[in-house]
Chains A and B, each alone.
Chain A
Amino acid sequence: MSASPLEKPDLFVVARILERLWREDAPMLKTRLQVATNVNYDVFRRYVSWMNDKQLLLLETSDDGHERLSLTPRGHEAYRHLVMWINEVVRKQ
């Protein structure tokens, strides 16, 4: 069953998923990422689907049938962009 589309993504949830994947050197198991980010599974699926559509992350199914996720260059760039933005705010107080 496919997840219902996301209308307005929550900035913090997107950043949480991006950051967790950014920390990993290798593709991460989908279920492992869901636990690590502590996001409700249905919500998580919708975000993964949305981020996959936007080419922020890559969803692969390995030979053992498990789904694994990794960050695309576009995802890396998006996360870098967000981090630079918050740094600007913090430093200009």
Chain B
Amino acid sequence: MMSSWVFWTERKTILKAYIAGTLVVLLSAVPLWLFAYSETGFLGSLAVRGFWWISCFVLLILYFLAWFGLPRVESSPGASLRALAHMMRVMKYSVDEAPKWIDIRVDKLTQVKVRARGAAGGTRIEYQVGATPVGATFIVVMFLIFPPASAIASLFIFGSAFRFVDTKVAPRLAGLPAVVSAPMDVKATLIDSLSEGHRLAQEASESVKSNYEDLIIIILVSGIAFFFGGFLAAWWLQPPDMASSDWSRVPVAVGAMAMLAFTLPSLWRARSRHKKAIGRFERSVSLLGGALASETSSLQPPDGFPSSFEIIAGAWDEVPSWLAARRRAGMFRHPSIWTAIVVFAYSGFLLLVAGIAELLYPGIDYQTAGVIVALGSVMVVSTMLLYFRWSRDQKLESERIVGDWRRRVEILRSEMEKYLQGL
């Protein structure tokens, strides 16, 4: 892991350097692109793409792996992180807390990882710019399709993180406690619990929405595949007269019918399946968010409003479904495996279409076409195997987590009841 190599006093210089570096990469690609297409055709365009991929990959590493220093504090590393996490929660930021670091979610695309390490004269606080699962998915997809767009998106995320640290984190470091704090008080604990519940519910809600969007994309892409399937089948069964001006009418009509017959019922089914879950998760987010807002303000909750304790404890029953939803979110939570699945599926599909198209033309090299179709089939089968394996692993892990959670909650409830009885 890289250590902090940028001091707080130089933060503005480094931000300018990042912006300049990104602009240089993007602008240098333009003349290269013009030259390549005008002079060297396909090989030139390949060179431009290679340049984009390599330069943008280097930029992504610089954006997301570097650690930046913040002013030192006097408190111990553990106490600093804990206090900072609480301050961020009071400001209604979602915080994921681990013993050695905290992840603060800045906005839908951006998050910041903060770590604290003991050093001479206090604790050194450092941060790293990161992307949320949505942001990471967006960057990976952009990187595959059009690398410069991923560099621009990363610069945007980088700027948001920088601004956030500058205005929200750094000014509060001076207020961190100098010694390890005593057990947190009731209000602070309620805020932490509500914030953590809110974070889980929000992530689950976004996961379900993301799953729904992924499913829509898969249905639409499959719809296109059905169109080509119908088109090729019609062509195969009744080769059209290519001399005729409307030779494509029948294959296109058959393809369109196949596409609609698959797409419309699938979209309707996906919508009805996800709408209920999305609504339920959004209600939880809103309830926990409302309680958190009330707890962080000095206002009394309105009469009859459930207590914060009840809202948190009531959320226990929902937590298994939140955890399961987070685990099920494919592209959203596991960009690497899903990148492999998308690349395999896309390449396999292209090879199959190209191979079948070759086979349809008489007098073509059947051996080459056969190899292309076989290769495409292998890739499609690999995609399916990858997906089924991932799906099985997710299901097993989800069942284990949910089982553990339910057992723990049952034990806790009975302990609490025993405690009340024994008072």
Contact surface of A with B, Cβ cutoff 8 Å: 8-9, 11-12, 14-16, 19-20, 22-23, 35-38, 54, 56, 74, 78-93
Supply 9 A–B pairs (Cβ within 8 Å), ascending by A: A8-B421, A12-B309, A14-B420, A15-B310, A19-B309, A36-B303, A86-B312, A87-B190, A90-B193
* Distance between Cα atoms of A7 and B117 in the complex (Å): 52
Given A84-B183, A87-B193, A89-B316, CB of A78 within 8 Å of CB of B423: yes
**Is B309 a contact partner of A82 (Cβ separation < 8 A)?**
yes
**Is B183 a contact partner of A85 (Cβ separation < 8 A)?**
no
**Is B300 a contact partner of A16 (Cβ separation < 8 A)?**
no
Which A residues lie within 8 Å of B319 (CB)? 93
Query: Max chain B CB contacts within 10 Å: which of A37, A85, A91?
Result: A85
Query: Max chain B CB contacts within 10 Å: which of A36, A79, A80, A88?
Result: A36
Give 8 nearest A-B pairs by CB, closest first: A38-B304, A19-B307, A15-B309, A87-B193, A54-B423, A16-B307, A36-B303, A90-B193
Which B residues lie within 8 Å of A87 (CB)? 189-190, 192-193
Q: What mask results when residues 75 to 95 of chain B are scored 1 for a CB within 8 Å of chain A, else 0?
A: 000000000000000000000
* Distance between Cα atoms of A56 and B308 in the complex (Å): 19
Contact surface of B with A, Cβ cutoff 8 Å: 97, 183, 185-186, 189-190, 192-193, 196-197, 200, 300-301, 303-304, 306-310, 312-316, 319, 323, 405, 408-409, 412-413, 415-417, 419-421, 423
**Is B300 a contact partner of A23 (Cβ separation < 8 A)?**
yes
**Is B196 a contact partner of A83 (Cβ separation < 8 A)?**
no
* Distance between Cα atoms of A83 and B191 in the complex (Å): 10
**Is A11 a contact partner of B413 (Cβ separation < 8 A)?**
yes
Query: Quick one: closest A residue to B323, CB to CB?
Result: A93
* Distance between Cα atoms of A50 and B196 in the complex (Å): 33
* Distance between Cα atoms of A36 and B197 in the complex (Å): 24
Which A residues lie within 8 Å of B183 (CB)? 84
Which B residues lie within 8 Å of A79 (CB)? 186
**Is B312 a contact partner of A90 (Cβ separation < 8 A)?**
yes
**Is A93 a contact partner of B200 (Cβ separation < 8 A)?**
yes
Nearest Cβ on chain A to B248's Cβ, whole angstroms: 56
* Distance between Cα atoms of A19 and B305 in the complex (Å): 12
The B interface, classified by DSSP as helix, strand, loop or mixed, is helix
* Distance between Cα atoms of A15 and B314 in the complex (Å): 12
**Is B309 a contact partner of A91 (Cβ separation < 8 A)?**
no
Which B residues lie within 8 Å of A81 (CB)? 419
**Is B417 a contact partner of A83 (Cβ separation < 8 A)?**
no
* Distance between Cα atoms of A12 and B309 in the complex (Å): 8
Which A residues lie within 8 Å of B97 (CB)? 91
**Is B408 a contact partner of A85 (Cβ separation < 8 A)?**
no
**Is B412 a contact partner of A15 (Cβ separation < 8 A)?**
no
**Is A35 a contact partner of B412 (Cβ separation < 8 A)?**
no
Given A80-B186, A83-B190, A85-B416, CB of A90 within 8 Å of CB of B197: yes
Nearest Cβ on chain A to B179's Cβ, whole angstroms: 21
Nearest Cβ on chain B to A5's Cβ, whole angstroms: 13
Query: Max chain A CB contacts within 10 Å: which of B196, B323, B405, B423?
Result: B423
Nearest Cβ on chain A to B417's Cβ, whole angstroms: 6
Which B residues lie within 8 Å of A92 (CB)? 408
Query: Quick one: closest B residue to A19, CB to CB?
Result: B307
Which B residues lie within 8 Å of A16 (CB)? 306-307, 309-310
**Is B405 a contact partner of A93 (Cβ separation < 8 A)?**
yes
* Distance between Cα atoms of A89 and B304 in the complex (Å): 26
Given A22-B186, A87-B193, CB of A35 within 8 Å of CB of B405: no
Query: Quick one: closest B residue to A16, CB to CB?
Result: B307
* Distance between Cα atoms of A14 and B313 in the complex (Å): 13
Of B300, B409, B416, which contacts A11 at CB under 8 A? Answer: B416
Query: Quick one: closest B residue to A88, CB to CB?
Result: B412
* Distance between Cα atoms of A81 and B192 in the complex (Å): 15
Query: Quick one: closest A residue to B306, CB to CB?
Result: A16
Which B residues lie within 8 Å of A36 (CB)? 303-304
* Distance between Cα atoms of A91 and B191 in the complex (Å): 12
Query: Quick one: closest A residue to B316, CB to CB?
Result: A89
Which B residues lie within 8 Å of A54 (CB)? 423
Given A9-B420, A36-B303, A38-B304, CB of A83 within 8 Å of CB of B309: yes
